[in-house]
Amino acid sequence: SILIIGACGQIGTELTLTLRNRYGNENVIAGDIREGNETLMDSGPFEILDATDYDALEEVVAYYEINEVYLMAAMLSATAEKFPMRAWNLNMKTLFNVLNLARDKKIDTVFWPSSIAVFGPNTPETLTPQSTVMEPTTVYGISKQSGERWCNYYHNKFGVDVRSIRYPGLISWKTMPGGGTTDYAVEIYHKALSDKKYTCFLSADTELPMMFMDDAIRATLELMEADPKNITVRSSYNLSAMSFTPAQVAASIKGHIPEFEISYQPDFRQAIADTWPSSIDDTQARRDWGWKPRFDLEETTKEMLGNIKSGRP
Ligand code: VAH
């Protein structure tokens, strides 16, 4: 069966629901340090789990006969700058615990998310290559770069089947993001509907790689279901769907809510965003496992405004 660690997070919630639809509710165990929303809690087994505690994790894996783990728990870029050592501890200890379970053959397959945050100020900024200079300047980026190196090491040294994607900023309506620099791209839709205005914490022209959550979840399942012999990247795959600026998403929203007004008050998160690329080259993912995005900015805006308005759970 499958265990999602961090099942109540922005990605974890949707991943859990999708996996339960696909593999059966009882075969997908949701684990998190806190309880999640009603839809998640009512749809299958749940365990309060601190994945930094190896013994607690091993007990859940044994009890439910887990063979696949999605490690979606982490402290994201903005919050990690406020609590560097807590972020490092959470992001790395959980990864070592899961990789060691796989090394010791207690589980078979691991998914671990990386991020465009692994790139830094001297990384080529447009169409950032799969393999390139990476000198991340954020705590979160350092933890993701280091995590990628460890995933690649455990694969080469112990044959661990760990698979990873460098997610761009993710936009979802079912869940709110938590502590990221790209969170503006979710907040803006909620505020557009509730207040018809939004004060953005990034500047108007800050172009960042972004992706609608349905694309990110589909990519994750496609990678996990790919034939291992086609997987040539065991650090983490670049993945891309679109890039946009706050001004562009505001214009897209104005097409549906003409009276929507945006203003800009960049805060400490601007300095983080300025170190990240504006677009990503995902040729390797397209070649290795047939990746192809489906949602562009206009379709994302329609989905977000349509679903948030209906107040679906
Ligand atoms: C963050 N949403 O903002 C995450 C993600 C690329 C951004 O890693 O930290």
Q: How confident is the model at residue 313 (pLDDT cuts 50, 70, 90)?
A: very low
Whole-structure pTM value: 0.96
Q: Are 30 and 8 in contact (CB under 8 A)?
A: yes
Distance CA 168, CA 141 (A): 13
Q: How confident is the model at residue 311 (pLDDT cuts 50, 70, 90)?
A: low
Neighbours of 180 (CB within 10 A): 23
Q: Is the pLDDT of residue 223 over 80?
A: yes
- Ligand 1 atom 1: residue of nearest CA: 180
Q: Are 52 and 93 in contact (CB under 8 A)?
A: yes
Provide the phi-psi class of 179: left if phi over 0, else alpha when psi is between -120 and 50, else beta: left
Q: Are 274 and 205 in contact (CB under 8 A)?
A: no
* 273 CA → ligand 1 middle, Å: 9
Cα end-to-end span (Å), the chain: 26
Counting from 1 in the atom list of ligand 1, the atom nearest the Cα of 181 is: 3
Per-residue pLDDT tens digits for 12-21: 999 999 999 9
Task: Using alpha carbons only, give the angle 214, 235, 50 rounded to the nearest 5 degrees.
Answer: 70
Q: Does the CB atom of residue 211 touch ligand 1 within 6 A?
A: no
* 167 CA → ligand 1 middle, Å: 8
The secondary structure of the chain in percent helix, strand, coil, rounded to multiples of 5, reads 45, 15, 35
Counting from 1 in the atom list of ligand 1, the atom nearest the Cα of 10 is: 2
Q: How confident is the model at residue 178 (pLDDT cuts 50, 70, 90)?
A: confident
For the chain, state the CA radius of gyration.
19
Is the four-CA dihedral 184, 187, 193, 196 of positive or negative sign?
negative
Query: Stretch 244-259: mean pLDDT, rounded?
Result: 98
Query: Stretch 29-35: mean pLDDT, rounded?
Result: 96
Q: Are 162 and 149 in contact (CB under 8 A)?
A: no
Q: Is the pLDDT of residue 312 over 70?
A: no
Tokens of 276: 């990240």
Side chain identity at residue 132, one-letter code: T
Catalytic-role residue among 64, 140, 167, 198:
140
Strand-pairing partners, residue 212, are: 171
What is the ipTM, given to two decimal places?
A: 0.96
Q: Does the CB atom of residue 116 touch ligand 1 within 6 A?
A: yes
Q: Does the CB atom of residue 169 touch ligand 1 within 6 A?
A: yes
Neighbours of 48 (CB within 10 A): 11
Q: How confident is the model at residue 222 (pLDDT cuts 50, 70, 90)?
A: very high
237 catalytic residue (yes or no)? no
Query: Stretch 289-296: mean pLDDT, rounded?
Result: 98
Q: Does the CB atom of residue 11 touch ligand 1 within 6 A?
A: no
Q: Does the CB atom of residue 115 touch ligand 1 within 6 A?
A: yes
* 77 CA → ligand 1 middle, Å: 6
- Ligand 1 atom 7: residue of nearest CA: 169
Per-residue pLDDT tens digits for 99-145: 999 999 999 999 999 999 999 999 999 999 999 999 999 999 999 99
Is the four-CA dihedral 266, 272, 278, 283 of positive or negative sign?
negative
Three-state DSSP state, 81 = helix
Query: Stretch 225-254: mean pLDDT, rounded?
Result: 98
* 47 CA → ligand 1 middle, Å: 26
* 78 CA → ligand 1 middle, Å: 8
